[in-house]
Amino acid sequence: MEQQRVALVTGSATGIGRSVAWRLAERGFAVTVNYSRSEAEAEETAEGVRSRGGRALVVRADVADDSAVRAMVERTVETFGGLDILVNNAGTTHFVPHTDLDGLTAQVWDDILNVNLKGTFFGCRSAMPHLKARKGNIVNIASVAGVAGSGSSIAYAASKGAVITLTKSLAKAFAPEVRVNAVAPGPVQTRWLADHQDMVEAAMPLTPLKRPASPEDVAAVVLFLADETSLMTGQVLVVDGGRTI
C-alpha cells in the first residue's frame, strides 16, 4: 500500500494558507490545518480539504509557543503516520509608518518576531526529524518586505528578512535530506490588507503586471517548490507582479 503524503500548513484558516491546503488536498495530501483564533474559518478550510479528496486534521496552536508547535507536529505524525511538507505561513504584523521609530515599541517587536521568525523556526525544528525520515521539504512564507525593506513596518520587514536568512541556513544545514525554500509575495489581496487598500493602490503604478497577488498566485508557487521541483533549495521566489525587478 502506497504511503500517504502529509502536509502541515500553519495559519491555514484563511488566505494563502487556505489556498495552499486546498491545492495540496487536490494532489492527495492529508493536511493539518492550523489556526490560532479563527476556528470557524479553519473548519471551513478542513471541509474544503475533504471535499477535494484529502484527509484533514484541525489543530489550534499559537506558533509563537514552542510547546504548542511541538504538540501539533506530534499530533500530525500520530494521526497521519508521518510528515512530508511543512509550510510556515502563519504571520502577523503591526502597521507602523517607517518614519515612526518610537512606534516600534518593544511589544511591537516581540509580537512580530515571536510569530514571524521564532514561530517559523519552532515549526522547522519540530518537523525536521520527521521530514528527514521521509526526505521531505519546507516552504517558508517570507515577503518582498524582507527583500526590499518595505511593507507594513520596519519590524515586519526585519522579521521577513530574517526568515529568508533562516531559510538559507537550514537549507545548507539539512541538505540533501531536506530541502528548504521560501516564497516572498508582494501585496496579497487577503483580509490582512482589507483596511489598508491605500498600500495596495500605491504599489500598483510601480508594478509591471498592474495587479496584486491573489492567495492562489502564491499557493501555485508554494506547490511548485514543495511538490514539483527536486533540485531547488535555499531559494526565495518573489511573487509581486514584477515590482522588485
Which cell goes with 181?
Answer: 525554500
- Rg over alpha carbons for the chain, rounded to the nearest Å, is 17
- The mean-pLDDT minimum among 86-100, 188-202, 222-236 falls in 188-202
pLDDT digits (tens, 9 = 90+) for 38-66: 999 999 999 999 999 999 999 999 999 99
> Is the full-model pTM beyond 0.85?
yes
Q: Identify the three-state secondary structure at position 82.
A: coil
Contact 16, 219 (CB under 8 A): yes
Element holding 86 (H helix, E strand):
strand 85-88
Q: Which fold, 6-239? A: Rossmann fold (3.40.50)
Nearest by Cα to 53 from 77, 87, 29, 34: 29
pLDDT digits (tens, 9 = 90+) for 204-219: 898 999 998 999 999 9
**How many angstroms separate the Cα of 141 from the Cα of each of 97, 104, 112, 161, 222?**
23, 23, 14, 11, 9
Instruction: List residues with catalytic annotation.
Output: 156
